[in-house]
Amino acid sequence: MSKLPIGTTARTGEICPESGIWKVVSTPSTTSPIAKGNKMPPYSGSAVTWKLIQHA
């Protein structure tokens, strides 16, 4: 089973397409481990775009 490429993005509220470390694409930013199938979370109360930076 192949993994989605590093750099894949997902928005808050979408289902996480790949387990790994995700980073918010904005400033301020943060990273978070998110498992495939979980809902992508908001950051600082706002909807954001998350980018996959490391596979689980």
Alpha-carbon gap, residue 20 to 56, rounded angstroms = 4
Q: Give the whole-angstrom CA distance, residue 30 versus residue 37.
A: 20
Phi-psi region of 20 (alpha: psi -120 to 50; beta: other; left: phi over 0): left
CA torsion, ordered 6, 10, 12, 17, to nearest 10 deg = -80
* Residue extents of the structural domains in the chain: 9-55
pLDDT at residue 2, rounded to an integer: 85
Q: What pLDDT, in 10s, does the model give residues 1-56?
A: 689 999 999 999 999 999 999 999 999 999 999 999 999 999 999 999 999 999 99
Task: Give the residue from 41, 51, 40, 55 showing the smallest Cα distance to 7.
Answer: 51
pLDDT of residue 30: 97
pTM of structure:
0.94
Residue 1: its pLDDT value, please?
67
